[in-house]
Structure 1
Amino acid sequence: MKVLSQKVRAMIGMLVLAMVVSVAIPAVAQGKTKVGTSADMACKSGRYIYYAYEMSGVRMGIMRLDTKTNKKKQIVSYKYNGQESNGFYNISVKGNYIYATWDVFYGTAASERYIYRFTKDGKKRERLACGYNPMIIGNRIYYTKCKLTYDVYEGFSYTEDIGDYSMNLDGSQSRKESVKRKYTSNNSFSQRKTTTVGNYQYYIGNKGKTLYRMNRKTKKKNVVITYYNGVDSYQVCGNYVITQGLSKGNAQSYYGKYVGYCVKSNGKNKVKLASWEPAE
């Protein structure tokens, strides 16, 4: 009986330990990581492509390209309270609104980033949160939340990351989240990875000068676009590709200007979106 009681006590101890462990770590079972595709410099909605190039020497507002007429229109100015800003990125469209990160700071010394939403005509705007990288999944926005900090020595405000959060589409009910992002754009200088969209793979070849599209089944490929001094970045938007690269240089600009295009993925119907001198 004495031996049996020891075994019983041992079993009871193991059961109690198991219960303690299971109670101590419920957060692991509850915590679900949200996975989605990060918004980037452009977004297609119906016949329109909304886009904005920023940094590398350019700042611009949110533009809209009509893919049927090839007409361009500025929807939102990049000027904040009448002053220049660093512009927009992480552009997406949901319902009747355009969502984007707006860096209202001007220059490379810092960033002051907020998430805004605009009506599609650009006439109304709402600041939803201090943060950036908004990613819409369902009816919630997953984003990197920030706090505003003032640098007394430099004399300006800037934003610092807090962590991943989510909120409703109107900016209400913010809560902490675990988020994993996939990216659609490909920068040729930082990564030469293949971008896969549906049945096609997009990749940069020809010594960094040409963007190709290849059918994954037939292996047939076509040239999407070639830049004389190299493709800098691209983003696939449905059956269109938004690109940035360097043109042929001249006496004024040795490496050439940056030029942005919208081109069909089959390499046809190339529309010039912007051009500027490289900087920063």
Structure 2
Amino acid sequence: MKITKKAVLAIMCLSLAAFAPGKAHAANKVQIPDGACRKGNDIYYSYSGSGLRMDLMKINTKTHKKKMIVSNKYKGRTTNGFFDLNIKGNNIYATYNIVDGSDGFNFYICKINVKKKTKKLLTKGHHPIVIGNKIYFVKTKYNKTFYQDQDKGIYVMNLSGKKIRKVCKMPSSYISSLGSCGKSLVYEHTDSNQERVYTRLSKQGKRLGDLDPNDTITSTYTSADSSYDCGVDNKSYYVTGGKVLCTDYDTDKTTTLVRYDSDHYGVQSFQVFGDVMVVRGHRQKYIKKYHYMGSKGYIYLIHLKKKPTKVLLKKYICGE
């Protein structure tokens, strides 16, 4: 049988595809908001938990100059602050928990103007994700008896907090995050086997099926027990033994970016923004102030190009 040049080329292409790194070219690219977001050379960030209460801050990735944008305080009182940060234009849309510490949950979708340094409560809710000119979020209602919010469903509104309408009832008893995959919504939850799952949802609230972990990457790492990989371009970012590692599929080189404790909660979260990463974790240290061994938290900005370099954003004593 005669084999043509076209057939040979086709076989070569198929062979190369078989050895191509699957994760780097995953079909499903998931965006999940977390404690940081980026616009141009500026990274905006705010974290809370483990005793930490932060204002919304900004760091320039070129000069490393830091500025406070808005305080975490609400009516003069310290709060649990901001998370689920989305940026569009000059505005950040985030979850704002207006209570402090273990006093419960009282979530609002908050609009922050980074130029005017103002914040405005739009409506009750959390887990906002901005897609186009719409904000999708989990609507909540405050329960005074239990001092916490109850989830009421997924809703959508415009960027001014108007024209609020229901998309669907809660698709799961608990949603740990809301994000996007292309033009679809994605919600993170736990299945019957206690495995973390990303499930696609249309903008009309129709369930579109679970995402395959073997063909899905996300730029946000928020859980040590998630089976979904983090990847950007041709690189994979992951956690092993308390270390955040990067594997470059073009060179097969693996680089250690930062080291934390090797236990399950050593690395708490990270987000990749092209050539930089923001990462949060803790290490066991001797606390001179209290004369005992305890946990210290460290938040870094890491430059990923060439030799990775770290810039300390925040250091704190966990549980203080």
Into which bin does the TM-score normalised by the smaller protein fall? Answer: 0.7 to 0.9
Question: 2:314, 2:220 → 1: CA distance?
Answer: 18
Q: Highest CA radius of gyration, 1 or 2?
A: 1
In the alignment, structure 1 residue 199 sits paired with structure 2 residue 205: no
Equivalent in 305, 308, 315 of residue 268 of structure 1 = 308
Per the TM alignment, residue 194 of structure 1 is displaced from its structure 2 partner at its CA by: 2.7
Partner residue, 1:222: 255
- Whichever residue aligns with residue 312 of structure 2, its letter is K
Partner residue, 2:150: 160
Distance 1:241 1:195, change over 3 A: same
Per the TM alignment, residue 118 of structure 1 is displaced from its structure 2 partner at its CA by: 1.3
Partner residue, 1:171: 161
1:188-213 deviation line (CA, Å, top 9, x unaligned): 544475312221100112xx221111
Number of equivalenced pairs: 240
CA contact (8 A) 1:36 1:135 kept: no
- Whichever residue aligns with residue 50 of structure 1, its letter is Y
Per the TM alignment, residue 253 of structure 1 is displaced from its structure 2 partner at its CA by: 4.6
Partner residue, 1:115: 109
Partner residue, 1:78: 72
Normalised by the length of structure 2, the TM-score is 0.69
Question: 2:228, 2:31 → 1: CA distance?
Answer: 17
Partner residue, 1:31: none
Partner residue, 2:42: 48
1:156-196 deviation line (CA, Å, top 9, x unaligned): x5321101011101111111225423664224544475312
CA contact (8 A) 1:38 1:133 kept: no
Question: What stretches of structure 2 of length at least 5 have no aligned partner?
Answer: 1-28, 169-184, 188-197, 199-217
SS at match of 2:285: coil
Partner residue, 1:237: 273
Per the TM alignment, residue 36 of structure 1 is displaced from its structure 2 partner at its CA by: 6.2
Question: What stretches of structure 1 of length at least 5 have no aligned partner?
Answer: 1-34
SS at match of 1:78: coil
Question: 1:193, 1:137 → 2: CA distance?
Answer: 22
- Residue correspondence of structure 1 range 11-90 to structure 2 within 5 A: 37-90=31-84
Question: 2:30, 2:256 → 1: CA distance?
Answer: 29
Partner residue, 1:250: 286
- Whichever residue aligns with residue 242 of structure 2, its letter is K
CA contact (8 A) 2:44 2:56 kept: yes
Q: Which runs of 4+ in 1 moved over 6 A?
A: none
Partner residue, 1:25: none
Per the TM alignment, residue 121 of structure 1 is displaced from its structure 2 partner at its CA by: 2.9
Per the TM alignment, residue 216 of structure 1 is displaced from its structure 2 partner at its CA by: 2.5
- Whichever residue aligns with residue 64 of structure 1, its letter is K
How much is the aligned-residue C-alpha RMSD, in angstroms? 2.2
